[in-house]
Chain A
Amino acid sequence: MTDLDLIVIGAGPAGASAALEAHRLGLRCLLVDEAPSAGGQVWRAPPRGFVRRKADVDARAGDRLRAALAASGVRVAFEHPVWLITDGFRIEAVGPAGPVTWRTPAIVAATGASERVVPFPGWTEPGVIGLAGATILLKAQQVLAGERALVAGCGPLLPAVAAGVLKAGGAIEAIVDLASRRDWLAVLPAMLTRPDLLGRGLGWLAQLCRAGVTVHYRHALRRIVRTEGGLRATIALVDDSGAFVSGAGSREFEVDWVAVGHGLVPGTDITRLLGAEHRYEHDRGGWIAIRDEFGRTSVKGLLVAGDGGGIRGAAAAVEEGRLAGLAVAYDQGRLDDAAFARAARPIRRRMRRAAHFGAASARLMALRPGQVGTIPQETLVCRCEDVTRAEVERAIAAGADELNQLKAWTRCGMGPCQGRMCGETAAALVAAVSGSRAAAGFWTGRAPLRPVPLDVLLGDYAYADMPLPRAAPL
């Protein structure tokens, strides 16, 4: 396909909205995602062949989005993970039928977020899963990972997952919240701007209260040990900064599985790969591409929308997507200044309103300064390459004052997840010595963006097809 004006990568709320808007304004647009259908993580569709009998708010929003896409005629390429983008832009993806190459003058990167989990002893045990992962299991797959659960971490996913487990007939042994009641009260005014979402949250709390579930505020997981029948989780009291208060408030729970998550981190793989300028913004989840209000980055033709540009939630992502689609249309001369300004005004207004709530959630989920400091030395920081905190610290002491140096010396961040799981922790450890997260930097963006099987890329290209240059005369 060479006849494209725009490729949108990521078909969640932001990306799908960007594609719909751009398509409406006459752009030839392709929407690409690695999943089999639109919706992203938050509005994920049930598996193909499954029929939904009951739909919650997110399910209905996802169904509306998928119906709008189907009715619009936007071209889509699902099950196509993008693994390489080069200047200009050339996009390489792998689909069910093999490798594909697209060219486009504009990209909207709407790749959403991944979850931050700050390591603790036992976080690598099978049966310990991310809070966001637990949400996907519960909502999209309708699967309970085990019977007795412990739910730990921070942010609105805590009550959401716990209530989901109860509803499914599982047991919640405890909710372990980094935040205090006061932290929650502090975000209440912002939450009041979305009475619908606040109401849903209060509904969850009421369910948990009725079931007699205890919320251990200002506590965190100290360790998890595998036992004969499941997992033993130890929790303890933490201070404001998320650091343990020497052994205080220690309790043990026997459970079958644990859901743990410490907030969301913007996915910046594409903007880093293409060399856009970034900055560290703690309250928006970490490193984000610098962009204008329409999502334009420092790289011409590259825009960002949604949580990948800083955590603000699904409602804001929809409006950011619309603005990005609108901006690409304007930049390509599809509408004049007046029409652009007229169209942008109401979207920007809705975006700011939605961002208010999203920002409050993001604050609850932001990394606390003391969280990383209390990771024991022998605990694994990098799951892929089995790198411990002690090894990271030794490299830092030897002079690794920046993340890529640390990677080269320890292999931390070099495994198949490409530093997505350990990046936040490693960067915080480096920052403790080099002074700030800005000074510690972040992984240089590298292809492949997703692991791709080499034989798929090669196709039927064989050894004999290799062009051999004539040997130089001796």
Chain B
Amino acid sequence: MASTNRIQQSSAGARIEGALVRPPSVEITVDGMPVVACPGESLAAALLIAGHRALRASPRLGQPRGAFCLMGVCQECVVQVDGRLVPACQTPVRAGMRVETGGAGG
């Protein structure tokens, strides 16, 4: 499970300011660590911003995988949220949600 976190990129994603007024941010936990995110934004986006790019390991080769299609098709961004497997790109951020990466296949 820890293996997928090693490749956190130095340059993470960022929220673009100006076009949207976002609600006040909330805290979620990702693999036990606190992460600040906007309620309502897709969990996949929040994870990219927090630098969590690798979200799971592929089933046969154990390669790191992350959000790819971002429209609920490829299932590469599947993570555990409060104990349930969900595609992060189709899951809105909620305050206090507990996210575990590396859960599927690895």
Chain A interface (Cβ < 8 Å from any Cβ of B): 34, 36, 41, 46-54, 114-115, 124-130, 132-134, 136-138, 141-148, 168-169, 226, 229-230, 256-257, 383-386, 415-417, 420-421, 450-451, 453
Contacts of A144 in B (CB 8 A): 13-16
CB < 8 Å: which of A50, A52, A124, A141 contacts B65?
A124
Interface string of B1-22 (1 = CB under 8 A from A): 0000001011111111011111
Contacts A54-B18, A130-B69, A385-B60; is A137 near B74 (CB within 8 Å)? no
Asked whether A417 lies within 8 Å of B73 as measured between CB atoms, the reply is yes
CB < 8 Å: which of A34, A229, A385, A451 contacts B59?
A385
Q: What's the Cα separation between A328 and B58 when bound, in Å?
A: 44
Among residues of B, the one whose C-beta sits closest to the C-beta of A411 is B60
Contacts A54-B19, A144-B14, A148-B11; is A48 near B54 (CB within 8 Å)? no
Scoring A36, A47, A453 by chain B CB atoms within 10 A of each residue's CB, the highest score goes to A47
Q: What's the Cα separation between A11 and B76 when bound, in Å?
A: 24
Scoring A53, A124, A142, A169 by chain B CB atoms within 10 A of each residue's CB, the highest score goes to A142
Scoring B18, B60, B73 by chain A CB atoms within 10 A of each residue's CB, the highest score goes to B73
Contacts A417-B73, A451-B75; is A133 near B60 (CB within 8 Å)? no
Asked whether A386 lies within 8 Å of B39 as measured between CB atoms, the reply is no
Contacts of A51 in B (CB 8 A): 20-21
Contacts of B54 in A (CB 8 A): 126
Asked whether B92 lies within 8 Å of A36 as measured between CB atoms, the reply is yes
Q: What's the Cα separation between A143 and B78 when bound, in Å?
A: 19
CB < 8 Å: which of B45, B72, B84, B89 contacts A453?
B84
Contacts of A48 in B (CB 8 A): 40, 92
Q: What's the Cα separation between A52 and B20 when bound, in Å?
A: 5
Contacts of A230 in B (CB 8 A): 9-11
Shortest Cβ distance from A165 into chain B, in angstroms?
10
Contacts A51-B21, A256-B9, A386-B58; is A138 near B74 (CB within 8 Å)? no
Q: List 16 A-B contacts (CB under 8 A).
A: A34-B72, A46-B20, A50-B21, A53-B21, A114-B69, A115-B71, A129-B67, A129-B69, A130-B69, A132-B71, A137-B45, A143-B48, A144-B15, A416-B78, A417-B74, A420-B74
Among residues of B, the one whose C-beta sits closest to the C-beta of A139 is B19
Asked whether B60 lies within 8 Å of A142 as measured between CB atoms, the reply is no
Among residues of A, the one whose C-beta sits closest to the C-beta of B19 is A54
CB < 8 Å: which of A49, A114, A143 contacts B14?
A143
Q: What's the Cα separation between A7 and B15 when bound, in Å?
A: 37
CB < 8 Å: which of A46, A132, A146, A415 contacts B9?
A146
Asked whether B70 lies within 8 Å of A142 as measured between CB atoms, the reply is no
Contacts A126-B55, A417-B75, A453-B85; is A141 near B19 (CB within 8 Å)? no
Asked whether A142 lies within 8 Å of B15 as measured between CB atoms, the reply is yes
Q: What's the Cα separation between A141 and B40 when bound, in Å?
A: 10
Q: What's the Cα separation between A47 and B18 when bound, in Å?
A: 15
Asked whether A126 lies within 8 Å of B15 as measured between CB atoms, the reply is no
Contacts of B65 in A (CB 8 A): 124, 126, 383
B78-102 interface (Cβ within 8 A of A):
78, 84-85, 89-90, 92
Asked whether B75 lies within 8 Å of A49 as measured between CB atoms, the reply is no
Contacts A142-B20, A143-B49, A385-B60; is A47 near B69 (CB within 8 Å)? no
CB < 8 Å: which of B18, B38, B61, B70 contacts A53?
B18
Asked whether B13 lies within 8 Å of A143 as measured between CB atoms, the reply is yes
Among residues of A, the one whose C-beta sits closest to the C-beta of B70 is A133
Among residues of B, the one whose C-beta sits closest to the C-beta of A112 is B71
Contacts of A49 in B (CB 8 A): 23, 39-40
Q: What's the Cα separation between A50 and B67 when bound, in Å?
A: 22
Asked whether A386 lies within 8 Å of B63 as measured between CB atoms, the reply is yes
Shortest Cβ distance from B18 into chain A, in angstroms?
7
Contacts of A384 in B (CB 8 A): 59, 75
CB < 8 Å: which of A47, A132, A256, A383 contacts B42?
A47
Q: What's the Cα separation between A52 and B38 when bound, in Å?
A: 15
Scoring A133, A134, A386, A415 by chain B CB atoms within 10 A of each residue's CB, the highest score goes to A133
Contacts of A136 in B (CB 8 A): 70-71
Shortest Cβ distance from A302 into chain B, in angstroms?
22
Shortest Cβ distance from A413 into chain B, in angstroms?
13
